Structure 1
Amino acid sequence: MSAPLNPDVTLRFLALQGLAAEAAALAMRYFDNRDAMAVSLKGAQDWLTEADGAVEALIRARIAEVFPQDSVLGEEGGGEVSERVWIVDPIDGTSNFAHGDRTWCISIGFLLNGTPELGCIAAPALGETYLARRGHGATLNGKPIKAAATDTITRATLEHGWSPRLPVGRFIDTVRALFEAGANVKRSASGAMGLASVACGRSDGYLEGHIDSWDVAAGIVIASEAGARVSDFFSGDWTNGNPILVAAPAVAEETARVAGLSLPSPASALAVSPGSKAGD
């Protein structure tokens, strides 16, 4: 049964779709003219392009116009967390974007009183838009999606994201453990797209030892609504990042065990943290 509708969330759900489409069109204009685009490095393999700043500025401006009481937390501009907060990654997969690889996206999530309510991942270079609202399912280009039915890790294809905040050896050890358990392991260099791939059944799991909220806020809603198991990212001081595990239901527990990560019980997915209130 679908969750009851909250008018405030409904209004933002409708606005989110237009906002994502406008941001995607702007990002594509930069992508199609990369030779004239400013590109720099914030750190080793930490890419920044002119498009990142422009797309985030657009998203912030539109939210300020329509929902001036809401806050925005973005990868490029930072921000504050309030009862109503939009969490934005203007270009996730910036290295791919800068090199002409089409695996990148705009990720926009919305939290109400600490609960992830809305998510949109727009991947215009791939012609894909993932959309979800808590309690109402997930779609890809308007069609319902669901996580894979893969029932054993020896048949699973998993994606392991790399974080520069953790030792390289830890990443390699986890990849080795997953291979030894019989899984196929890959990396696409976009955490948001990794979560979207689990949601639509293209892969069976995505994990990363440390990831930021703007990489996963939208994907957590989308994957959860597609039936995937999702770790409790929004616990503790999530503004500084947390581990993430999103996986097809039948392989989630085994993947978590092999990777040394934890999962909440299936019934507590997207549960409201103590002291907060649900949006519906």
Structure 2
Amino acid sequence: MDSDQLEQRARVAATVVREAGALALDYFRRRGDLRIDSKGLQDMVSQADRECEDLIFARLSEAFPADSFLGEEGGLRGTGSAMWVVDPIDGTANFVRGIPHWCVSIGLIEDGRALCGVLYDPVADELFAGVAGGGATLNGAPIGVTGETDLRKARVGIGFSYRTPVAPHPGDIHALLDAGCEYLRLGSGALGLAYTAAGRLDGYFERHINLWDVAGGLIIVAEAGGRLSDFMTPDVVAEGNEILVATPGIYDQLRGLFDA
């Protein structure tokens, strides 16, 4: 994909993510009327998730009919090498409980590489964006990771999914606290990556996360100067993977803690 094609996709994605965010925010404000279904242990989906994904698919498939599309709710559609990967509401558990920490995530992947990503938090009206070779921004202003090198001054986001065994999770928290590092568990992996890119966190770790949760944030972290684990393995679409992103000065220290 050449630079003009990529820039065009990035512009359209930014417009679409705002439109989907406005729809999701409307549902958030009247969430008492939402139909909510269970997909598994502590895993929910709402009418808002489905309708936001349908909107995003309609807009992107109209603009780029040759591209494929992977949505959390609707699965894979199309066979194009450039693939849009969408989480219509990352942080649904927060969303349905009225906790204002969730976002709409859109990422573009081609040949195993994240090329562009947009994450929109409509409650805060914050649009995080990144394009390969073009930097990372928050509402149009450049952002970057913290540059922290001392774990005793760091704060790391951490996630958990019941798709993985419970036992390692408290061990990970114990390891962070033993190292003098603070942690947060906020319930949105996408925003965990965005906050790392913007310097609000020094890193984010989750032992298993799906591609749609992080596809929008991968390039944002990379373009903000962060270091990322090898997430884009050949089976990541079907299987997900572990994710670690951090400001470079503490990445190896965190890797050592979580691998111990």
Note the 1:197-276 alignment, pairs <5 A: 197-239=195-237, 240-260=239-259
Give the SS at the match of 2:187. coil
Match of residue 173, structure 2, among 172, 175, 183:
175
User: Is 1:146 matched up with 2:124?
Assistant: no
Give the SS at the match of 2:161. coil
Moved over 2 A (4+): none
Note the 1:185-200 alignment, pairs <5 A: 185-200=183-198
- 1:37 is matched with 34
Q: Map Cα deviations across residues 51-74 of structure 1 (whole Å, 9 max, x no partner).
A: 000000001111121111111011
Give the SS at the match of 1:171. helix
Whole-Å separation in 2 of the counterparts to 1:14 and 1:5: 15
Match of residue 110, structure 2, among 112, 122, 138:
112
Return the TM-score normalized by structure 2: 0.96
Q: Which runs of 5+ in 2 are unaligned?
A: none
Aligned-pair distance for 1:236? 3.0
Note the 1:154-173 alignment, pairs <5 A: 154-173=152-171
Whole-Å separation in 1 of the counterparts to 2:235 and 2:81: 15
Give the SS at the match of 1:47. strand
Pair 143,5 (structure 1): closer, same or farther in 2 beyond 3 Å: farther
Whole-Å separation in 2 of the counterparts to 1:235 and 1:126: 33
Does the CA contact (< 8 Å) of 2:112 and 2:233 recur in 1? no
Amino acid at match of 1:228: G
Amino acid at match of 2:83: V
Q: Which runs of 5+ in 1 are unaligned?
A: 262-280
Whole-Å separation in 2 of the counterparts to 1:98 and 1:179: 31
Whole-Å separation in 2 of the counterparts to 1:189 and 1:159: 9
Amino acid at match of 1:202: R
What's the C-alpha RMSD, in Å, of the aligned pairs? 1.4
Amino acid at match of 1:245: L
Does the CA contact (< 8 Å) of 2:112 and 2:234 recur in 1? no
Q: How many residues align?
A: 258
Amino acid at match of 1:34: R
Give the SS at the match of 2:206. strand
Match of residue 71, structure 1, among 59, 68, 71:
68
Match of residue 57, structure 1, among 54, 57, 62:
54
Whole-Å separation in 2 of the counterparts to 1:251 and 1:157: 11
Aligned-pair distance for 1:82? 3.8
Give the SS at the match of 1:168. coil
Give the SS at the match of 2:99. coil
Does the CA contact (< 8 Å) of 1:163 and 1:210 recur in 2? yes
Whole-Å separation in 1 of the counterparts to 2:42 and 2:22: 26
Give the SS at the match of 2:66. coil
- 1:15 is matched with 12
Return the TM-score normalized by structure 1: 0.89
Does the CA contact (< 8 Å) of 1:83 and 1:114 recur in 2? no
Aligned-pair distance for 1:127? 1.5
- 1:91 is matched with 89
Q: Map Cα deviations across residues 197-243 of structure 1 (whole Å, 9 max, x no partner).
A: 10000011100011000011111100110001111100131111000
Whole-Å separation in 2 of the counterparts to 1:56 and 1:62: 10
Aligned-pair distance for 1:166? 1.0
- 1:266 is matched with none
